Each structure stands twice: as C-alpha cells, then as structure tokens.
Chain A
C-alpha cells in the first residue's frame, strides 16, 4: 500500500465518504459526528478490483466536544464502475455518548406537534440554526451521509451545503418521516445541487434513508 503524502496531497482520499457513512450509521437527531483530524491515509491499488483507502480518523460528537473518538475506515472504490457505491468498512474505537434521552425527547416533541413540521434554509444565509431545529439539522447530516456514501467516486468530494427544505410527513406507524431537499456542494466541479431524500426515524430503530 502506498502511504499518501502528508496533509495537502491527501485531498481526495475517501475521508468524506467514510465520514458520510459514519454519520449515516451512527448519527441521529441527538448526535452529530464531525471530523477532527485525519491521522493517517494510505492507498492501495488492487489489480482488477479497484483503489482502496485505509484511513485513521479522529471524530467528535458535536454535542460532546470534550472527547474525541478514534475510528479506522477502509474505502474501496471499485474499478471502472461509476454507478456503484464505494464499499466502506468502519470501526469506531470506544463509546459514543448515549443519545437515548435526547432521542426520546425529540421523538415525543415531533409526535406531539399539531401541524407537520416544515422549515427552509438550515442554516440560514448567515449560518444560523434555530436551537429547536438543531436535531432536524443533525438528521439531515444522517441523510446527507447516506447520499455522499452512495454517490461518491474517487474524483468527487461532497459536503452538505444547506438544508433547502424539510417537510415532516405524518405516518400511521411509529416512525417519524421527513422529506428533505438537501443542497450538496461538490468540491471539484464546485456545483451545488439539490437532492431529494426521505428519512424514516425511530428512537429504537434508527434512521432509514431513501433517495427520492
């Protein structure tokens, strides 16, 4: 495996994909995972298979900033295939802060809303997120994490630019449903494009994301 040169040249190294995948797996209204540092990045070119990136990352939970969590990730971009998602394996070392209470509170709050929740432009133009929309914003990170994982190639790097719109859809079952329009910013082309995505969420069952 080739060690990727320190810092600068490691730009397109699968980090955004690994973080996206982690947010999708472990994020939620009560937990927002943020990348603190890339400790190490290596690339291996596997004949007839593709390019594999080995990453050592340091993450933080934005609601538990005093701690960092180490994680290792392997991101495999399959050869030639433009339409299949990279294969990602992650291991999180140590424990993340429990979100049970926060999740239940959020769940109860949304379930008890008279009108379906609807909001636009999170954050707003000035970078503000109203406190009561922060869990909705974090859930958008879960959704964008899924999109970024599913749609990245070795030559793209996506970030969530903004939640353009979110609309709750009341359901007869126990899940919460949110239909999002997310703006994703792609670094290489510099395009900011809208993606429609639906998130089903439940405190015990976590998030299920489907691209519209």
Chain B
C-alpha cells in the first residue's frame, strides 16, 4: 500500500499521521472504518500543496534580477531591491529615464524621483508618488509597475507615449523610505516617518498631515504618539520638504497624484475645510471618468469625491497644499481593498491593482494634457 508515516506510531492511544498514495486511498479508508478507527483528513492533496510551493518559490526567488524584464512585479520587494530596480531602469533607458535625488530622509536615506522625459526644457509635468505611508505596500509595488509601464508604452508608441511628447512624468516610488525599511524589519503596520522631535519618546510624523494647508487644524493630531500626528510645524519632515522644494522650484507641474491604500477611493481637495474647491465640478467629472476606466478592467468599484465628504476631515494633507499652489489636477487615490486584507493585500493582487489604477491615471494625465493651463 506504500503508507508514508509522517507521525509514526508511538503507542496505544496516540495518533499517527499518514500520507496515503492515491491508489491506496480506498483500501485504507475501508480498513480504518472497518476497524472502527477514527480519522480526519489534514491535507486533501499533498501534490497540490507542493505544486503551489514550487510556483511560489520560483516567483519570489531572491535572485538579483539582471534586468527589468526579469524583475518580479508580482511580489513585494525591499527598499534595496526597489532602488536597484531604479538603476536598472535608467541604465536600460538612458534617453527616457533619469533618477533625481530630491533630498534625504531623517535616517539619511536618499529620496529618489524618476523623471520620464523625451526632451524639451521644463515641460509641463505630472507628478505621481507612492508609499508616503509606508505600510501601504501595494502602492510602492504599483509604483514599480507604473515605471516599467511608462517605459514599455514609450517603446511601443502607445498609451502614455503621446503624453510624453509634450509633458514629463515624475514618479517617486518610495516616498517614505525610513518607514518602509521599518515595515520590513520591525513593524509591518508602521505608517509615519521615523523622525524624533524633542519632547517626546514617540517616533514619527504623519507625512500626510505635515503639509502647509490647514496645518494643525481639526483633522490631525497634536499628540506625537498618534498615527495622524502633524509634526511640530509644516514641512518639518524632510520627506515632505523635499517635495515642496521640488514642486516650487520646478514651477510647471500641472497634475499631482498621491497614492495610498486601502479603501478604493479617488479623492480631490479639500480635506481641511468643507468649502468646496473652486474647481470642484471639473475635478468631480474627471474623477467619475477615471473611476469608470479603472472599473472597466476587473470590475473593482471605487467611490470618489472630496476628501472631507468622502473619507474624513484631514488637515495638512498633500493634495490640499498642491492644489493651493495652483496645481489644479490634484488627486489622492486609495487603492485596493476595502478591508478584507487591508494593508496586507496578497501579492497576487499587485499587478491587477496596478493595471486598473493605471487606467485611471491615464484619464487624469490625458485630461491634464488636453486642458493645460
């Protein structure tokens, strides 16, 4: 019968675990039942488990990818792996992609932004950031996918290739590297930066409450030990200040999109006040189109609206500041899911999430290009 004992017989009254080859199943069942031995099935199909494990191992093999074609987009990566990816992408596409260092984090990690440009001087630009809240892992993973997608579209002269004819795209994938490293090493649920400000033993500032728009108003916390701590003053966080400085000195950014998870929402200003944004109607119309495009791929349902009416009051948030700087097309995404896995979205959902989100991003980018101001 070829029984394979995984927990061998040890004595009367003690259980045994047996792997039974398929051809012997019936015979073993009959024997057990006839002898009045109770049993339960722990694993229905051992081979299925082995096949799955094999696939998993191949997929998440920690071999250093030699190029961005062998990079595994269906897995979550460490900061080192993503930073290597940036360099690979630039090396493979030197005429399209460059890497800018816009500052350093509290723990002195470089803050890198990819610039996608086909030329020109200071062209009107689109900014996309992912990972500002470090525990929102599907966002950094999607950012990596976006980077590759932009390069592919350009090579195939489709998709965003037409946008790149007249505009530049800036993409910051690991917007909060200290927090991201911390989620890998110490606390998967870490959200904030890792700054220590005097007067508190607690660490970190919420980088999405640290911007100079309604700073410190209701919708953020003054308690350093909370997740929505706004920090001692606006732009106290180098992760935030570096973007502020970049946006101001560039001077020609026309769309700004900050990506979070989870909740499946597309949001526009304001979060700090109930006063509707002057461009509310247009932003709402663009959002409706973007959400419809997103949904068309896998049926994922998104809601949309202003931050304060759709999610909650939030002060000092990124896109409220960028909007007040005159960047009309300022949006925040909250990607998959709606709470089933939350921050721990299974890796196999990374690519579908990135693919559907990209469709929404394209709607916003195309609208920006067609409505330059």
Contacts and interface: CB of A to CB of B under 8 A. Distances in A.
B268 to A, nearest CB: 11
B346 A127 contact: yes
Contacts of B343: 161, 185
A210 interface: no
B336 to A, nearest CB: 11
Given A8-B305, A187-B312, A190-B228, A128 B346 contact: yes
Contact of A7 (B43, B76, B184, B303): B303
Interface stretch (B34-42, B110-118, B358-366): B34-42
B200 to A, nearest CB: 17
| Interface of B, helix, strand, loop or mixed by DSSP | loop
A109 B305 CA distance: 49
A154 to B, nearest CB: 13
B7 interface: yes
Given A7-B303, A127-B341, A192 B189 contact: yes
A202 interface: no
B310 interface: yes
A94 interface: no
A69 to B, nearest CB: 16
B280 interface: no
Contact of B309 (A9, A108, A128, A189): A9
Interface string B293-317: 0000000010111000111100000
Contact of B342 (A16, A112, A159): A159
Contacts of A1: none
Given A189-B226, A192-B189, A126 B312 contact: no
A127 B345 contact: yes
B355 interface: no
A121 B305 CA distance: 34
A161 B342 contact: yes
B36 to A, nearest CB: 15
Contact of B227 (A11, A37, A131, A191): A191
B9 interface: no
B43 A108 contact: no
Contact of B42 (A35, A132, A190): A132
20 contacts: A7-B303, A8-B305, A8-B309, A9-B310, A11-B312, A108-B38, A112-B40, A121-B188, A125-B76, A125-B188, A126-B76, A128-B347, A159-B339, A159-B342, A160-B342, A161-B189, A161-B342, A162-B189, A162-B344, A185-B342
Interface of B: 7, 14-15, 38, 40-43, 49, 75-76, 137, 183-184, 188-189, 191, 206, 221, 226-228, 263, 265, 301, 303-305, 309-312, 338-347, 349
Given A8-B265, A126-B346, A127-B345, 8 more contacts: A35-B338, A108-B40, A109-B42, A121-B188, A124-B344, A125-B137, A189-B226, A190-B191
Q: Return the 6 tightest CB-CB contacts between A and B, nearest first.
A: A127-B346, A108-B40, A8-B305, A159-B339, A190-B227, A8-B310
